[in-house]
Structure 1
């Protein structure tokens, strides 16, 4: 008797584990696939690309800002042939030949350090904004993936439910035709089947929408993901 009780307890434990596995989607989540989807979203999603371009643009501004220090200086020259008479013999700086000059724009000179610091700040800000968006993008990919897995699991449940209700309705129809059950009982089985079928169809639509949303953010079809 005791042995029989132990067998029954063990059997119930396995049944409980099986039911729990069917009611949970945790085991359906494939984290390797999820990491692939996150990586693809970072590569393909247009807004992610836009942030990457913003970083590149800000980074390219750094050497341009450094070279812009040359804008401070304005070099010029004047050439007067030697065979021409001097315009102003009294002025010792007004002579024939080449005359060179360099002008320094003081206002521009004072602005350059601020422009350089601004360029560095813009680069850092672009990096921080891209990182912030990247974190948000990861969360959004996970959300869409979990929803997709949820719809897959629900579709399995509603498909099984519809099949069970169909089997029950067919069985009760047979019994109704033999006069073993009432019309109300038979009609209720048909109502249950209709409800289960409707739930299955709605879940199929939800699954397609979840699949489209996931494919939209990773930039490719799920079937094409290696």
Structure 2
């Protein structure tokens, strides 16, 4: 009779333990899209590469604006002053007083439209590259966020598996001490507990790694983002 009770107990323990192992816990219920938007906004604010891209856009814009007035570089103005009461025999002049002269560099004037167009295209390229990077950063934050939630779900699963294995070991230890089960069965359950603890450690490492990857993009700790 005792043997039948022990067998039934072991069978029930095995069923519960197996269900916890294979009934994978979904992390979808943990997803918070408002919180995800905060993470994305934080990454766009703090990540150094975003600031670098913005500086490149600003520099390209400044250069473009400067080329709009580059045609003035070909314009040269000067003045000559001839006193009213002086006579210059070597270079006689008709006009007296201040005389303004303006010269225009035709080559510089013709080159300016092409320079301006090139600067405008460089500015547009910088903007496109910035937009592309922001989209890439947003996608990366999402991937790391989902990976972090998945790792947390896996850690919860492994933690529950360890608890189940510990419960089974306690039952088998008691049964073994009473001579109601064999050392082989008890030892197999001890090995199972060891394996589950090993899986839990791996899940803990995966969780911390996923958290570190996400925080690298955010430039701050997750705990600081509410």
TM-score by length of 2: 0.84
Matched, 1:68 2:70: yes
Deviation of 1:71 after TM superposition, in Å, equals: 1.0
- Residue ranges of structure 2 left out of the alignment (5+ in a row): 1-20
Structure number with greater CO (CA < 8 Å, separation at least 6) is: 2
Q: Once superposed, which parts of structure 1, at least 4 consecutive aligned residues long, lie more than 6 Å away?
A: none
1:87 and 1:100, CA in 2 relative to 1: closer, same or farther beyond 3 A?
farther
CA distance in 1, matches of 2:23, 2:187: 33
Paired position in structure 2 for 1:128:
128
CA offset at residue 61 of structure 1? 2.4
Deviations 1:47-80 (A, max 9, x none): 0111112122222223322222211201112334
Mapped to 2, the partners of 1:69 and 1:160 lie a distance apart of: 75
Verify the 8 A CA contact 1:55 1:126 in the aligned structure 2: yes
Q: What are structure 1's unaligned runs of at least 5 residues?
A: 1-18
Q: Secondary structure of 1:23's partner?
A: coil
Aligned twin of 2:80? 78
Q: Judge conservation of contact 1:21–1:27 (CA < 8 Å) in 2.
A: no
- State the 1:100 CA deviation: 2.4
Aligned to 1:138: 138
Q: Deviations over 1:128-153 (max 9, x none)?
A: 11111111111100110011001100
Partner-residue secondary structure (3-state), 1:181: coil
Cα distance in 2 for partners of 1:176, 1:20 equals 28
Cα distance in 2 for partners of 1:116, 1:64 equals 9
Offset of 1:20 from its aligned partner? 10
The question of 1:209 aligning with 2:215 is answered no
Give the structure 2 partner of residue 41 of structure 1.
43
Q: Judging changes above 3 Å, is the alpha-carbon distance between structure 1 residues 21 and 99 closer, same or farther for their aligned structure 2 residues?
A: farther
Aligned to 1:174: 174
Query: Is 2:176–2:183's contact at 8 Å kept on the other side of the alignment?
Result: yes
Deviation of 1:214 after TM superposition, in Å, equals: 0.8
The count of corresponding residues between Structure 1 and Structure 2 is 206
